[in-house]
Amino acid sequence: MEKNRTSDRAKILLVDEDESIFYLMRRVLPKDKYRIYTAGSGREAIGMGTGVCPELVLMDTELSDMDGIELIRQFRAWTDCPILVLSEQSGYAQKVDALYAGADDYIVKSFHEKELAARVYAALRRRIRNAQNTCYEAGELKIDFSKRQVLLAGEEVHFSPVEYRILECLALHAGTVVTYQMLLEKIWGPYACGSSRILRVNMTNIRKKIEKIPMEPSYIVTIPRVGYRMLESCQRSVC
């Protein structure tokens, strides 16, 4: 396997058991723009991902050591970086499962090299734009989406990965109702049966952490039998 190179550019984690893909990607993605790390298995990808903190993941879902959809979910538990699937499977069900699990795009092999380069560029461009999309701020609560950081009265509040994703989803839709079903599908996927109790437990924990300052407004309002609405942000500027 070719050794990983160093560069100042965007970090990409490439996950595939076919080593020929590694050489193809290094030819397609210019080395002056991207820093490519490679993993030949799902477990290697998990270990390398948490160490490297990639800005984009390119991955095959056909892995011998673990289910590729589960790998996407594990990435989504701690990172919101774009995930692009490269797969020989072109079926509707495979695409739907990958996208609901958290993938941002699904590219069927074989693909045109210029198309892949364009999709990588577009995904990274959206990530930069979203990061500049600022933060949520209302009362004493501030959420910096780019840093995945939550502050209450200037003090950092720590959340589990699932709690943060729920809070982030509500904050990104602040002022509008987010239904229970939307949250369940967003966090646990389209087949999230039996997760409603887990959602309620996580919401209780979130509220305990952000609603403990006297006289502060209730940041999250429950809409009975429908969902939740988060207090509208007073600003949407770069944190």
pLDDT at 132: 53
* Residues ≥6 apart with Cβ < 8 Å to 175: 229, 230, 231, 232, 233
Give the chain's radius of gyration (CA, Å). Answer: 19
Which residue stretches of the chain have pLDDT < 50?
1-7, 236-238
CB 37 within 8 A of CB 52: yes
- What is the rounded CA–CA span in Å between residue 82 and residue 232? 27
pLDDT at 64: 94
* Residues ≥6 apart with Cβ < 8 Å to 45: 13, 15, 39, 57, 59, 71
pLDDT in tens, 63-100: 999 999 999 998 887 777 889 999 998 888 889 899 98
pLDDT in tens, 22-36: 988 888 888 888 989
pLDDT at 190: 57
Three-class secondary structure assignment of 50-89: HHHCCCEEEECCCCCCCCHHHHHHHHHCCCCCCEEEEECC
pLDDT at 194: 59
What domains does the chain contain, in order, with CATH numbers?
10-131 (3.40.50.2300), 135-230 (1.10.10.10)
pLDDT at 1: 39
In eight-state DSSP terms, residue 7 is -
